[in-house]
Amino acid sequence: MQGQPVFIMQQGTTQEQGKTAQSNNIAAAKAVAQAVRTTLGPMGMDKMLVDESGDVIITNDGATILEEIDISHPTAKMIIQIAKTQEQECYDGTTSAVIVAGEVLKKCEALIDQNIHPTTICRGLRKGLVYLIKKLEDYEIHDIDLDKIAKTALTGKSADSFKDVIADICVGAVMNTENLEDIRITKALGGSAADSEIIVVFIIDKERSHPAMPTSLRKPLVALIDSTLGVKQTEIDANIQITDPTQIEAFLAKEEAELQAMAESFHKNKANVVLCQREIDDLVKYHFAKLGILALEKVTKTDMEAVAMASGATIINNVKDLTGTALGSFDHTEQISLGDLPILKLTGGKNEATTVLLRGPTTHFVEEIERAFDDAAGVVSVAQRDSVILAGGGSTYAGLSGSLANHASQEAGRQGMAMVALADALESIPRTLAENAGLDPVDEMMALHKAHSDGKKYHGINIEVGGAIDMRSLGVFEPKRVVEQALKSAVETAIMVLRIDDIISSKQKNQG
Interacting residues with ligand ADP (CB under 6 A): 39-42, 44, 62, 92-96, 152, 155-156, 392-394, 429, 433, 460-461, 463, 474, 476, 478
The answer to whether 61 is a known catalytic residue is yes
Of 87-95, 111-119, 297-305, 443-451: span binding Mg ion (CB under 5 A):
87-95
- Beta-bridged to residue 57, according to DSSP, are 49
- Beta-bridged to residue 337, according to DSSP, are 342
Q: How far apart are CA 356 and CA 341, in angstroms?
A: 15
Q: Which residues contact 223 (CB under 8 A, 6 or more apart)?
A: 266, 269, 271, 273, 274, 275, 313, 316, 322, 326, 327
Of 314, 303, 207, 302, residue with least CA distance to 269? 314
Least distance between ligand ADP and beta carbon 390 (Å): 8
* Residue closest to ligand ADP when measured from CB atoms: 392
Q: How far apart are CA 270 and CA 85, in angstroms?
A: 51
Of 86-94, 186-194, 365-373, 404-412: span binding Mg ion (CB under 5 A):
86-94
Q: Which is nearer to ligand ADP, 399 or 460 (CB)?
A: 460
Cα–Cα–Cα angle for 159, 83, 120, rounded to 5 degrees: 140
Least distance between ligand ADP and beta carbon 208 (Å): 42
Cα 405 to its chain centre, rounded Å, is 35
The answer to whether 51 is a known catalytic residue is no
The answer to whether 281 is a known catalytic residue is no
Q: What's the length of the chain? A: 512
Residue 42 binds what, of ligand ADP, Mg ion, none (CB under 5 to 8 Å, by partner type)? Answer: ligand ADP
Cα–Cα–Cα angle for 487, 109, 484, rounded to 5 degrees: 0
Residue 155 binds what, of Mg ion, ligand ADP, none (CB under 5 to 8 Å, by partner type)? Answer: ligand ADP
Q: Is 92 in the site for Mg ion (CB under 5 A)?
A: yes
Residue 220 binds what, of Mg ion, ligand ADP, none (CB under 5 to 8 Å, by partner type)? Answer: none
Q: How far apart are CA 312 and CA 315, in angstroms?
A: 10
State the catalytic residue, choosing from 92, 303, 374, 375.
375
The answer to whether 243 is a known catalytic residue is no
Least distance between ligand ADP and beta carbon 428 (Å): 11
In what helix (H) or strand (E) does residue 203 lie, and over which residues does it extend? strand 201-203
Residue 270: how many other CB atoms lie within 10 Å: 11
Least distance between ligand ADP and beta carbon 219 (Å): 44
Q: Which is nearer to Mg ion, 89 or 92 (CB)?
A: 92
Residue 461 binds what, of ligand ADP, Mg ion, none (CB under 5 to 8 Å, by partner type)? Answer: ligand ADP
Residue 96 binds what, of Mg ion, ligand ADP, none (CB under 5 to 8 Å, by partner type)? Answer: ligand ADP
Q: How far apart are CA 473 and CA 471, in angstroms?
A: 5
Least distance between ligand ADP and beta carbon 82 (Å): 11
Residues forming the site for Mg ion (CB under 5 A): 92
Q: Among all residues, which ones are annotated catalytic? A: 61, 94-95, 375
